[in-house]
């Protein structure tokens, strides 16, 4: 019989690639982690991990087991939440995950207004790039995601969408407005970011390969543009005040403005809980979202 302690130990080793780091995360001894990992593999009957120098990596079977393991823990956590919600009739919870751009420019106002109208819903907000948020939804670790369009292989339901526009900004000053696009330094998000993907597609569309400076925060990118470090492709929602006060300027390009959409997405095959319904109803009534259910995946 597999125990929860064995499963948690395995998932932490899988996440961190180290027995020592897993033991520190779980606040148990290294021998206890090693024993749990060995017992789990004996029960499953196949090797789930293997040595890779000083690190531990998953075998192909281990990667498959990890996906199911994460879902098992997510289901147990959801069962606990649902039991509490039934027992505490007025209490509901929502695990909301958002891509960084939406979390910085859209979600704060949305959540503030939602909390005013639905104070009984306890919201947990998790933030990451688009690879991270869809991984959370895929493994049932999020109830709703706000991001770009979900991957076509993800079993998900698009519940609503909201338009937003992407533009190129540059530091204030005439010399920046005259700089050729291919010669300017571009401030870009990290690999795994949806904005980074779109930026690279724009470069390819006009055949340029400019110098790039990778920055993992939208707020830092905006500050660096203000400081004169270069151009960037950003959501207009995040720079309206800078544009109004002249701290940055919008640059005309062959590929902008880009009309994009935020998507409010839930997983398929799971019960839609009351907190989720409350947020979707609010987003479509007051948050500028338009209901547009579209099923993806199988």
Q: How far is CA 83 from CA 69, 194, 220, in A?
A: 21, 36, 42
Q: What are phi and psi of 109, to 5 degrees?
A: -65, -40
Q: Given this model, what pLDDT does residue 86 score?
A: 62
Mind listing the domains of the chain with CATH numbers? 4-68 (1.10.10.10), 164-260 (3.40.190.10)
> Could you report the per-residue pLDDT of 236-273, keeping only the tens digit for each?
988 999 999 999 999 999 999 999 999 999 988 777 77
> Could you report the per-residue pLDDT of 8-62, keeping only the tens digit for each?
899 999 989 999 998 998 888 988 899 888 888 888 889 999 988 888 999 999 9
Full-model pTM:
0.68
* 168 secondary structure, DSSP code: E
Given the DSSP bridges, would you call strands 144-147 and 92-99 parallel, antiparallel or unpaired? parallel
Structure tokens at 123: 């919201």
* 99 secondary structure, DSSP code: E
Identify the band that residue 293 occupies on the pLDDT scale cut at 50, 70 and 90: low
């Amino acid at each position: 019989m597999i125990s929860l302690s064995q499963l948690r130990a395995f998932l932490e080793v899988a996440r961190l690639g180290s027995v020592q780091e897993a033991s520190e995360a779980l606040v148990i001894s290294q021998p206890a982690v090693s024993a749990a990992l060995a017992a789990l593999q004996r029960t499953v009957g196949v090797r789930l991990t293997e040595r890779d120098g000083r690190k531990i990596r998953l075998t192909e079977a281990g990667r498959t087991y990890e996906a199911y393991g994460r879902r098992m823990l997510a289901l147990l956590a959801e069962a606990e939440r649902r039991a509490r919600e039934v027992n505490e009739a007025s209490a509901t919870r929502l695990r909301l995950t958002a891509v960084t751009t939406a979390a910085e420019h859209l979600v704060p106002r949305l959540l503030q207004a939602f909390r005013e109208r639905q104070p009984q819903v306890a919201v947990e907000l998790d933030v990451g790039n688009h690879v991270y948020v869809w991984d959370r939804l895929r493994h049932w670790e999020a109830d709703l995601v706000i991001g770009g369009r979900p991957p076509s292989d993800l079993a998900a339901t698009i519940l609503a969408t909201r338009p937003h526009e992407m533009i190129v900004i540059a530091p204030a000053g005439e010399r920046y407005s005259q700089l050729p696009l291919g010669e300017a330094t571009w401030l870009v998000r990290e690999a795994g970011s949806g904005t980074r993907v779109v930026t690279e597609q724009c470069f390819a569309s006009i055949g340029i390969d400019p110098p790039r400076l990778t920055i993992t925060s939208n707020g830092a990118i905006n500050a660096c543009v203000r400081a004169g470090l270069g151009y960037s492709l950003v959501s207009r929602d995040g720079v309206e005040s800078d544009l109004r006060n002249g701290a940055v300027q919008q640059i005309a390009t062959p590929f902008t403005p880009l009309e994009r959409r935020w998507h409010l997405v839930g997983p398929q095959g799971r019960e839609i809980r009351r907190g989720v319904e409350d947020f979707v109803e609010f987003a479509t009534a007051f948050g500028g979202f338009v209901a547009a259910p579209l099923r993806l995946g199988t």
